[in-house]
């Protein structure tokens, strides 16, 4: 008996000790590191995705685009107009890495003169060879997304020449304002040719593998710490060509997969900026002290795609009838909590050449719709509406669409698909009716229209092909005079309203929620943040 | 003074069944008393009641149990307080399969004799020798599953001896053993209890065993005591017809139909 | 004992082979083209075809299986279709986080469930038993996601007792030098007690979310296993000989019940390993579960298969370990055979 009680006493003591130890250690926890001595404060932000790839020509997620974009600089940059804490990119451009850039009279040849003494983060000089190598890479590397863009501006692999270490000549088959817009985009940032050649292999001549994980920055930041599962820390690049452009002491992008948790952490002051929040939460956060909502008109378009190759969607009267039955304002108010602009055509309101009268076509007019259906000889029919399962917004919109079309006698079965399957089936172009969204880079109306309705375009899932439209758009690509562009674009927009191959629904606003004192949110023509302008007071 | 006196014992499952009804008997110091009956007669329950370890749901609702004149009906852990010991029908099942048998005996030595570990272990080996186990030190290191039924029962007896018991309750101690071993175990029990002047309550259905070992016998039928008396009297001249029935059945087994 | 060990090893090996086969087949039944998903909607059909050929997605099934199995023997689980990186990198990088969470959850489950289960079994039918069983019912009926949200709301948002769902460490704090990948262990090994403390703070809420549910299971299993022993012969012997109640419970009942409880613990731990996808997502825990969740959306065959394979293999290993420990504890197995 004594033996047993001694043993149990020992056990009790051991337990008590270990519990005390655990408690002591965890109390030991909190360590505050307030180590910013400089006046430029560092920020912590969280976006709608995680960062996995550091290569601006190979990124997969929007957060990767923002991050990889910070590791390169382009030859030119958009000019911004500032309102409050936001800078919005416009249609004119300023020099970045270039000291000057000039077009020939016919607009087909561009001469870029680089600044003196430009270097990469490792100190090696940035010269014309690097520019040529980078542009070549964007076209020829097998895994580069950018290659689809080159034909749109008439660039081929023979277009790029390094005239001398400080001068690059770019020759295109035709002149187009789209070229400037592209050269200012992050994927057209400048890579280090030396680093590329050092890490190239015979299977991988453009060092795609290396640049996915590494960088030799020409941009405002270099990568400090990078934990693929947690966060990426960007520190200001001491070799960046214009230190004054960097308004902060660094940016940490924290990966928080659950949007509600992101909102929670923003509310509690653990992060300074949050993107990709569900809009109902944005609406709520707008009422919270210490937080502000930044919301700007965007060119991103949510549309209802129709399979124009399949009856009854092959008849434009049916398509237009559908467009007249949809509750556009309801989408904005109920589905998007006010954070959107109602449809005004495939070319959005804030894009250049937007025809002011096209918004009128997107109204609800059941009588007209019924008339059109009768004309087309269509009574009622059933169809399936598909969308990506992961989209809560589209799920809600689908319900409104279903009940709106019921009034026309169209029986819509709502069918969410797993994201990968949705992608597969849109590419296969066999979905009847589907919700999808699209953002054209460069804020170029012809690019926008061609991508969504041009024959054979990769993102035109509707099977619509109209040679007349294609011809107009081709003309538009190549026209340099604003008056010409306005006219051609207006004609194309009118044609698209007449034909309605795909129905624009709304333009969701570019929305972020920030802590008060955070400014410098920059919306460029790819609608991603340019991190160097962010600052915190 | 009687060693054990059971008075008007009533044991039942409340609201369901009566297991023992008004059972009374006694045992003198050093006596071996048998308790016979068929299965279901309540004989095992009697020994459990005396021991104070009735199973869950079974309750003693009337009667007293007296040890050397003291009423122990409400005493828990009687074994320790009054030096009872018990051995069971299935010896291997009655031993802890995860403990070496020597340690199990030593545990009882510690509990009942207050010895510390090392002394208890040594005493355990001695006890194993007392129950006629050859090479007791080696045997002490074995686990129950490594020993035969007979050996296990010897171990149990050693545990009982560790209590220095005044009263040993033996519930069908040989029923589960081989015939050849049965006699050995019985002889052992008788010899040892005689040595230490311990009374024995031998619960069994086997009249042959009773005839060989018991001084007196009680006959239990469906919870009631129907006959009691000196063994040879009861067996040769049973007064109750149930006793006669038992005897007849036993004879048939021996002689054949 | 040796035969027992060998037999268990053989069974485990066969199970792993079966696992490879089953995960391979099941994953290929899922709809969706992973190559298309990887290249995005802008890609041309030609590009998609090229990638498909490169990844062998159009090869006949037996061929794919052969390639995959051969790769496995070299520790190569193939590329993740969606990122191009090796699956083994993507998943094994994150395995320590998942393991740390599962272990912490198990510890909490044991600390809560074990004593309560014992308590319930010690006095069956009494108020303590009823209370313990009530706890078990509550614990097993609360969905982890609900419980997790409740804990975040209460212990973080409202009372600020624990950190928010940021991950394993505070924003901006670098992890300890990697030895095991378990931050608590690695911090202690590096002598950084403050960091160890922080890791434990961040570990607490998600581990509690997992552990509470699991503790209910542990409680029930301990209770039932111990109660079963209550009717056994050796417990009767101990009680008959006046062994004090608590000692009977601990030394006779519990020890013999441990055999069953151990098997149950193995099951619980396996469940914790695989079942923490939701908790990982909720608490932003950078473990394998989160990767698997995303892989499901992008139909990344490589990752899905790798995930199922890793978790399944861990589970098999776990059961093997439990069996072996069982063999060590139970002398009937360890010393084999009985005498006549």
Task: Answer yes or no: do B146 and C335 touch at CB < 8 A.
Answer: yes
Mean pLDDT of the A260-274 span: 91
Give C30 or C189, the one with higher predicted confidence: C189
Across the interface, of A29, A30, A231, the residue whose CB is closest to C171 is A231
Whether residues A464 and A522 share a domain: the answer is no
Interface of chain C toward chain B, CB-CB under 8 angstroms: 124, 230-234, 236-244, 251-252, 255-256, 329-332, 335, 337-340
Mean pLDDT of the A478-482 span: 86
Q: Which residues in chain C are contacts of B148 at CB distance < 8 A?
A: 339-340
Q: What is the pLDDT of residue A326?
A: 94
Q: What span, in angstroms and rounded, lies between the C-alpha atoms of B149 and A116? A: 100
Whether residues A495 and A524 share a domain: the answer is no
Residue A124 is assigned to a structural domain of this protein? yes
Task: Answer yes or no: do B114 and A1 touch at CB < 8 A.
Answer: yes
Q: What is the pLDDT of residue C65?
A: 83
Architecture of the B4-93+165-255 domain: 3-Layer(aba) Sandwich (3.40)
Q: What is the pLDDT of residue C340?
A: 38
Q: What is the pLDDT of residue A502?
A: 93
Write the CA distances from A20 to A9, A25, C111, integer angstroms.
16, 9, 15
Q: Which residues in chain B are contacts of C338 at CB distance < 8 A?
A: 145-146
Q: Tell me the residues of chain B between 163 and 202 that have a Cβ less than 8 Å away from chain C.
A: 163
pLDDT at residue B65 tops 50:
yes
pLDDT at residue A31 tops 60:
no
> Above pLDDT 90, what percent of chain B?
32
State chain A's mean pLDDT as an integer: 88
Q: Tell me the residues of chain B between 47 and 76 that have a Cβ less than 8 Å away from chain C.
A: 51, 53, 55-56
Q: Which residue has the tokens 């009533």?
A: B10
* A36 touching chain C per CB within 8 A: no
Q: What is the pLDDT of residue A505?
A: 95
Give the DSSP H or E segment for B219: strand B216-221
For B74-91, write each residue's pLDDT tens digit: 887 777 777 889 999 989
Task: Answer yes or no: do A265 and C164 touch at CB < 8 A.
Answer: yes
- A185's torsion region: left (phi>0), alpha (psi -120 to 50) or beta? beta
CA distance C242 to chain B (A): 4
pLDDT at residue C42 tops 80:
no
The span from the first CA to the last CA of chain B, in angstroms, equals 46
What contacts 24+ positions apart, CB below 8 Å, involve A371-375? A372/A317, A372/A318, A372/A320, A372/A321, A372/A324, A373/A317, A373/A318, A373/A321, A373/A408, A373/A409, A375/A317
Could you tell me the pLDDT band of residue A155, with boundaries at 50, 70 and 90?
A: very high
Task: Answer yes or no: do A1 and B117 touch at CB < 8 A.
Answer: no
Write the CA distances from C142 to B169, C67, C134, C214, C215, integer angstroms.
52, 43, 12, 11, 12
Query: Can you read off the two tokens belonging to residue C317?
Result: 């290993």
Q: Report yes or no: C113 and C216 within 8 Å, Cβ to Cβ.
A: yes
For C126-138, write each residue's pLDDT tens digit: 888 898 889 889 8
pLDDT at residue A42 tops 50:
yes
pLDDT at residue A36 tops 80:
no
Query: How many residues would you count in chain C?
Result: 340
Could you tell me the pLDDT band of residue A30, with boundaries at 50, 70 and 90?
A: very low
Whether residues A175 and A313 share a domain: the answer is no
For A385-402, write each residue's pLDDT tens digit: 999 988 889 999 999 999
Q: Report yes or no: C239 and B52 within 8 Å, Cβ to Cβ.
A: no
Q: What span, in angstroms and rounded, lies between the C-alpha atoms of B247 and B255? A: 12
For A335-349, write each residue's pLDDT tens digit: 999 999 999 999 988
Q: What is the pLDDT of residue A152?
A: 84
Mean pLDDT of the B160-188 span: 88
pLDDT at residue A32 tops 50:
no
CATH code for position A410: 3.10.105.10
Whether residues A246 and A338 share a domain: the answer is no
pLDDT at residue A3 tops 50:
no
Write the CA distances from A444 to A304, B163, B172, C76, C130, integer angstroms.
21, 100, 100, 45, 71
3-state secondary structure (DSSP) of residue A401: helix
Query: Can you read off the two tokens belonging to residue A27?
Result: 């109390």
pLDDT at residue C41 tops 70:
no
Q: Which residues in chain A are contacts of C197 at CB distance < 8 A?
A: 25-29
Q: What span, in angstroms and rounded, lies between the C-alpha atoms of B237 and C78? A: 91
Instruction: Please state whether the peptide bond connecting residue A312 to the residue before it is cis, i.e. omega within 30 degrees of 0.
Output: yes
Whether residues A322 and A181 share a domain: the answer is no
Task: Answer yes or no: do C200 and A53 touch at CB < 8 A.
Answer: no
Could you tell me the pLDDT band of residue A44, with boundaries at 50, 70 and 90?
A: very high
Domain range summary for chain B, segments of one domain joined by +: 4-93+165-255
Q: What is the pLDDT of residue A205?
A: 92
pLDDT at residue A34 tops 70:
no
Domain range summary for chain C, segments of one domain joined by +: 92-282
CB atoms within 10 A of CB A438: 20
CA distance B129 to chain A (A): 25
What does R_g of chain B's alpha carbons equal in angstroms? 18
Q: What is the pLDDT of residue A519?
A: 92
Q: Which residue has the tokens 């592209």?
A: A182
Number of domains forming the structure of chain A:
2
CA distance A521 to chain C (A): 22
Q: Report yes or no: B38 and B202 within 8 Å, Cβ to Cβ.
A: no
CATH code for position A70: 3.40.190.10
Q: What is the pLDDT of residue A18?
A: 64
Query: Can you read off the two tokens belonging to residue A70?
Result: 């910070």
State chain B's mean pLDDT as an integer: 88
Instruction: Give this complex's ipTM.
Output: 0.86
Pick from A98-102, A251-255, A277-281, B232-236: least confident: B232-236
Q: Which residues in chain A are contacts of C164 at CB distance < 8 A?
A: 261, 264-265, 268, 270
Query: Can you read off the two tokens belonging to residue C45?
Result: 């059909």
Q: What is the pLDDT of residue A37?
A: 42
Name the residue range of residue A321's domain. 300-510
Interface of chain A toward chain B, CB-CB under 8 angstroms: 1-3
- Phi, psi at C201, each rounded to 5°: -60, -45
Q: Which residue from A162, A182, A155, A213 is spatially nearest to A78, judged by alpha carbons?
A: A182
Could you tell me the pLDDT band of residue A100, with boundaries at 50, 70 and 90?
A: very high
Q: Which residue from C61, C60, C40 is spatially nearest to C51, judged by alpha carbons?
A: C40
Whether residues A385 and A439 share a domain: the answer is yes
Query: Can you read off the two tokens belonging to residue C163?
Result: 């950190």
> Above pLDDT 70, what percent of chain A?
93
- Which range has the top average pLDDT, A139-148, A300-309, C65-74? A300-309
Residue A16 is assigned to a structural domain of this protein? no
For A338-378, write each residue's pLDDT tens digit: 999 999 999 988 888 898 888 888 999 999 999 999 999 88
Q: What is the CATH number that goes with domain C92-282?
A: 1.10.3720.10
**Helices and strands (H, E) in chain B, number of each type:** 10, 10
User: The pTM is what?
Assistant: 0.79
Whether residues A113 and A157 share a domain: the answer is yes
Query: Can you read off the two tokens belonging to residue B14?
Result: 């409340």
> Above pLDDT 70, what percent of chain B?
98
| Interface residue of C123, C230, C241 to substitute, partner B, most B CBs within 10 Å | C241
Pick from B11-20, C109-118, C271-280: least confident: C271-280
* B80 touching chain C per CB within 8 A: yes
Q: What is the pLDDT of residue C290?
A: 81
Mean pLDDT of the C237-243 span: 88
The three-state DSSP-derived secondary structure of C43-80 is CCHHHHHHHHHHHCCCCCHHHHHHHHHHHHHCCCCCEC
Q: Which residues in chain B are contacts of A2 at CB distance < 8 A?
A: 116
For B112-152, write each residue's pLDDT tens digit: 888 888 999 999 999 999 999 989 999 999 999 999 989 99
Q: Report yes or no: A412 and A384 within 8 Å, Cβ to Cβ.
A: yes
β-strand A510-515 against A433-438: which pairing, if any?
unpaired
Q: Report yes or no: C3 and C51 within 8 Å, Cβ to Cβ.
A: no
Q: What span, in angstroms and rounded, lies between the C-alpha atoms of C227 and A331? A: 61
Q: Which residues contact C44 (CB under 8 A, 6 or more apart)?
A: A148, A458
Mean pLDDT of the A101-121 span: 92
Pick from A41-55, A386-400, B241-255, C43-57: least confident: C43-57
For A423-453, write each residue's pLDDT tens digit: 888 888 989 999 999 988 888 899 899 999 9
pLDDT at residue B38 tops 70:
yes
Largest CA distance in chain A: 106
Could you tell me the pLDDT band of residue A481, with boundaries at 50, 70 and 90?
A: confident
């Amino acid at each position: 008996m004594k033996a047993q009680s001694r043993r149990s006493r020992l056990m009790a003591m051991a337990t008590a000790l270990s519990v005390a130890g655990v408690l002591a250690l965890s109390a030991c926890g909190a360590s505050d590191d307030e180590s910013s001595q400089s006046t430029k404060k560092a920020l912590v932000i969280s976006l709608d995705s995680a960062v996995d790839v550091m290569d601006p020509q190979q990124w997969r997620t929007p957060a990767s685009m923002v991050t990889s974009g910070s590791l390169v600089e382009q030859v030119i940059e958009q000019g911004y107009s500032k309102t409050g804490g936001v800078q919005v990119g416009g249609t004119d451009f300023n020099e970045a890495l270039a000291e000057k850039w000039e077009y020939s009279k016919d607009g087909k040849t561009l001469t870029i003169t680089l600044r003196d003494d430009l270097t990469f983060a490792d100190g090696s000089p940035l010269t014309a060879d690097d520019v040529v190598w980078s542009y070549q890479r964007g076209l020829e590397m097998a895994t580069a997304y950018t290659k689809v863009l080159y034909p749109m501006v008439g660039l081929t692999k023979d277009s790029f020449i390094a005239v001398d270490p400080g001068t690059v000549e770019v020759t295109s088959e035709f002149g187009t304002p789209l070229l400037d817009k592209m050269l200012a985009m992050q994927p057209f940032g400048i890579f280090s040719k030396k680093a590329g050649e050092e890490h190239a292999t015979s299977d991988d001549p453009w060092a795609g593998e290396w640049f996915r994980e590494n960088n030799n920055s020409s941009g405002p930041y270099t990568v400090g710490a990078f934990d693929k599962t947690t966060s990426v820390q960007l520190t200001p690049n001491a070799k960046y060509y214009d230190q004054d452009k960097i308004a902060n002491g660094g940016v940490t992008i924290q990966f928080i997969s659950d949007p509600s948790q992101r909102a929670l952490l923003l509310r509690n002051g653990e992060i300074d900026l949050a993107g990709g929040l569900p809009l109902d939460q944005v609406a709520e956060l707008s009422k919270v002290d210490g937080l502000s909502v930044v919301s700007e008109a965007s060119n991103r378009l949510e549309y209802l795609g129709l399979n124009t190759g399949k009856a009854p969607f092959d008849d434009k009267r049916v398509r237009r009838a559908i467009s007249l039955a949809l509750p556009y304002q309801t989408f904005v108010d109920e589905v998007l909590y006010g954070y959107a602009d109602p449809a005004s055509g495939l070319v959005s309101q804030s894009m250049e050449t937007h025809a002011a009268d096209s918004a009128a076509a997107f109204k609800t007019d059941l009588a007209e719709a019924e008339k059109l259906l009768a004309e087309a000889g269509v009574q009622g029919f059933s169809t399936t509406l598909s969308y990506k399962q992961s989209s809560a917004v589209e799920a809600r919109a689908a319900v409104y669409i279903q009940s709106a079309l019921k009034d026309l006698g169209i029986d819509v079965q709502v069918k969410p698909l797993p994201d990968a399957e949705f992608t597969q089936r849109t590419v296969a172009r066999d979905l009847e009716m589907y919700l999808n969204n699209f953002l054209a880079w460069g804020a170029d109306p012809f690019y926008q229209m061609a991508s969504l309705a041009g024959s054979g375009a990769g993102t035109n899932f509707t099977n619509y092909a109209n040679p007349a439209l294609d011809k107009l758009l081709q003309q538009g690509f190549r026209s340099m005079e604003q008056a010409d562009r306005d006219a051609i674009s207006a004609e194309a927009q009118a044609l698209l309203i007449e034909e309605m191959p795909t129905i624009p629904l709304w333009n969701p606003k570019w929305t972020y929620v920030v802590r008060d004192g955070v400014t410098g949110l920059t919306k460029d023509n790819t609608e991603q943040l340019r991190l160097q302008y962010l600052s915190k007071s | 003074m009687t060693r054990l006196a059971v008075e008007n014992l009533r044991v039942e499952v409340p609201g369901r069944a009566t297991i023992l009804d008004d059972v009374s008997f006694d045992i003198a110091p050093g006596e071996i008393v048998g308790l016979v009956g068929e299965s279901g007669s309540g004989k095992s329950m009697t020994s459990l009641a005396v021991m104070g370890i009735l199973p869950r749901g079974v309750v003693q609702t009337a009667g007293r149990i007296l040890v050397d004149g003291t009423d122990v009906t409400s005493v828990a852990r009687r074994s320790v307080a009054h030096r009872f010991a018990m051995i069971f029908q299935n010896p291997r099942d009655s031993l802890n399969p995860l403990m070496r048998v020597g340690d199990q005996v030593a545990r009882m030595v510690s509990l009942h004799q207050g010895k510390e570990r090392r002394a208890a272990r040594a005493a355990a080996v001695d006890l194993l020798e007392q129950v006629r186990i050859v090479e007791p030190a080696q045997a002490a290191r074995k686990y129950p599953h490594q020993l035969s039924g007979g050996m296990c029962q010897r171990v149990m007896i050693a545990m009982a001896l560790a209590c220095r018991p005044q009263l040993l309750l033996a519930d069908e101690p040989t029923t589960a053993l081989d015939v050849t071993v049965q006699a050995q175990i019985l002889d052992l029990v008788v010899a040892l209890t005689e040595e230490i002047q311990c009374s024995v309550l031998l619960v069994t259905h086997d009249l042959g065993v009773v005839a060989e070992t018991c001084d007196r016998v009680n006959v239990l039928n469906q919870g009631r005591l129907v006959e009691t008396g000196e063994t040879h009297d009861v067996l040769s001249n049973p007064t109750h017809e149930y006793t006669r029935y038992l005897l007849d059945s036993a004879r048939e087994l021996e002689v054949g139909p | 004992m040796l035969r027992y060990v060998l037999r268990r090893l053989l069974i485990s090996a066969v199970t792993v082979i079966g696992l490879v086969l089953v995960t391979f087949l099941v994953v290929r039944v899922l709809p969706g083209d992973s190559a298309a998903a990887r290249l995005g909607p802008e890609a041309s059909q030609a590009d998609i075809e090229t990638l498909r050929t490169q990844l062998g997605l159009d090869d006949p099934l037996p061929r794919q299986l052969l390639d995959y199995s051969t790769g496995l023997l070299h520790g190569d689980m193939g590329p993740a279709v969606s990122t191009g990186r090796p699956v083994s990198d993507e998943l094994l990088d994150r395995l320590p986080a998942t393991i740390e969470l599962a272990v912490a959850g198990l510890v909490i489950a044991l600390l809560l469930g074990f004593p309560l289960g014992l308590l319930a079994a010690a006095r069956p039918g009494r108020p303590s038993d009823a209370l313990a069983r009530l706890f078990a019912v509550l614990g097993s009926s609360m969905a982890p996601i609900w419980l997790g949200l409740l804990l975040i709301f209460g212990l973080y948002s409202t009372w600020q007792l624990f950190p928010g769902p940021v991950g394993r460490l505070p924003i901006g704090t670098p992890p300890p030098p990697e030895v095991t990948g378990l931050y608590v262990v690695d911090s202690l090994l590096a002598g950084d007690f403050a960091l160890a403390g922080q890791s434990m703070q961040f570990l607490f809420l998600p581990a509690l979310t997992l552990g509470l549910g699991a503790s209910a299971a542990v409680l029930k299993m301990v209770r039932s296993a111990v109660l079963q022993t209550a009717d056994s012969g050796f417990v009767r012997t101990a009680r008959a000989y006046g062994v004090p109640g608590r000692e009977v419970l601990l030394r006779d009942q519990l020890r013999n019940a441990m055999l069953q409880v151990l098997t149950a613990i193995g099951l619980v731990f396996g469940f914790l390993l695989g079942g923490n996808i939701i908790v990982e997502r909720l608490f932003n825990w950078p473990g394998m579960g989160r990767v698997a969740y995303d892989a499901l959306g992008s139909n990344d065959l490589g990752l899905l298969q790798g995930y199922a394979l890793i978790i399944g293999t861990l589970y098999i290993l776990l059961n093997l370990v439990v069996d072996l420990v069982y063999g060590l504890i139970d002398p009937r197995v360890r010393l084999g055979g009985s005498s006549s």
